[in-house]
Amino acid sequence: MTRSFLTRFAWLSIAAALATIGLKTAAYLLTDSVGLLSDAIESLVNLVGAMMALWMLTIAALPADEEHAYGHGKAEYFSSGVEGTLIVIAAISIAAAAVTRLLHPRPLEQIGLGLAVSVAASGINLGVALVLLRAARKHTSITLKANAHHLLTDVWTSVGVLVGVGIVALTGWQRLDPIVALIVAANIVWTGSRIIKESVSGLMDSALPPEELKAVRDILNKFGQSGIQYHDLRTRRAGACRFVSLHVLVPGDWTVHRGHELVEKIEEQICEALPDAEVITHLESLDDPASWADTTQKHKGQHTQQC
C-alpha cells in the first residue's frame, strides 16, 4: 500500500511553521524578549524540518524497484535524523543569544501583547503536533513522530518562555528572561539527541522492539508444540516496514507440499500480528545436521511472504 498520503501531514506542518514564525517574530519585535526570539528561531527550524519531512515522505512512498528491492522506507530515518540535528543547532543559537542577553540585560516592552501573540502561535503548534502524533502512531511513521515531538518541544519552549516573561513583568528581574531561554535550550538539546539516537538505530537495522519479537516467538512456539522447530530468527525495521527471517525445521519425511503449507501458515500469522511485515522463511529438515547452519553460511530453500 502506498504511503504517499502521509505527505499531507507534512504540508500541514509547513503551514503551521509559516504561521508561527510570523506570530513569534511579531511577539519578539513587540517585547524585545530573547526568550521569545528563541521561540521564533525554533519555529524557523520547524519549517526546515517540515520541508525535509515532505521530501523524505515522498521518497519513502516510492515502490520497490530493481535498485531498491526492499523499498525506500529508510528515507524516513534521514528526515528524523536531520530534524534532530536541526533541533540541536537551534538550541545552540538560542543559548548564544541568551548568554549575550544575560551579560547585557535589557528591559522588555509591550509584554501583554507579545505574550498574547505567542500564545496564539503555541496553540497552532499544539493542535498540529497532536494531529501528527496520532498519524505517526497509526501509520508507524518515524518522520511524523519526529516532527510531532519537535512541535511539542516548541510548545513546551513557549510555555517556559511565557512563564519567564510573565515573571519578569511581575518582578522586574531582567536576567530571568535569558535564564529561561538557557533552560529551554537544554531541553531542546535533550529532545534533539533522542530523535537522532532513534534515527541512527533505524539506519543500523536494529531488531524489532521486545513486544513485537515476543509476538513472533509466541506464534513460532505455538507451532513448536507439534514438533516443528526454528532457529536463526532475525528482525529489522525500515520505516514502517518490518522484516522477519527465520529457519523452519520439519521432519525429513515431509513432502515439499506439506512443508510449504506450514510456512505459509507461519508467515500468515506473523503478518497478522505485525502489519506491513515481510517474512522470509528457510525450510529445512530436522534430520539433517547441516540444517542448523545459519543464513551467513547458506541461502537455500528460502521462501518469502510479503504482507
CATH number, position 18: 1.20.1510.10
Confidence band for 107, pLDDT divided at 50, 70 and 90? low
pLDDT at 300 exceeding the cut of 80: no
- 3-state SS class at 304: strand
Which residues span the domain enclosing 215?
Answer: 210-306
Cα separation, 183 vs 229, whole angstroms: 55
What angle in degrees, to the nearest 10, is found between the helix axes of 34-60 and 75-103?
Answer: 170
- 3-state SS class at 280: strand
Last residue of a domain, one of 161, 176, 203: 203
The residue ranking higher by pLDDT, 301 or 186, is 186
193 and 293 belong to one structural domain: no
281 and 139 belong to one structural domain: no
Give me Rg for the CA atoms of the chain. Answer: 26
Last residue of a domain, one of 151, 176, 203: 203
Cα separation, 200 vs 206, whole angstroms: 9
The domain total for the chain is: 2
Report pTM. Answer: 0.59
149 and 217 belong to one structural domain: no
235 and 252 belong to one structural domain: yes
- Which three three-digit cell numbers place residue 301? 530453500
94 and 163 belong to one structural domain: yes
pLDDT digits (tens, 9 = 90+) for 165-185: 677 767 777 677 677 778 777
Spatial strand order in the sheet of 241-250: 229-238, 241-250, 277-285, 302-306
Last residue of a domain, one of 163, 185, 203: 203
Sign of CA dihedral 197, 199, 204, 208: positive
Residue 258 belongs to domain with CATH number:
3.30.70.1350
172 and 65 belong to one structural domain: yes
298 and 230 belong to one structural domain: yes
pLDDT at 131 exceeding the cut of 90: yes
24 and 67 belong to one structural domain: yes
pLDDT at 28 exceeding the cut of 90: no
What confidence score (pLDDT) does residue 201 get? 75
Alpha helices in the chain, H assignment, sequence order:
7-31, 34-60, 75-103, 111-139, 142-171, 176-203, 210-224, 256-273
Residue linked to cell 511513521: 141
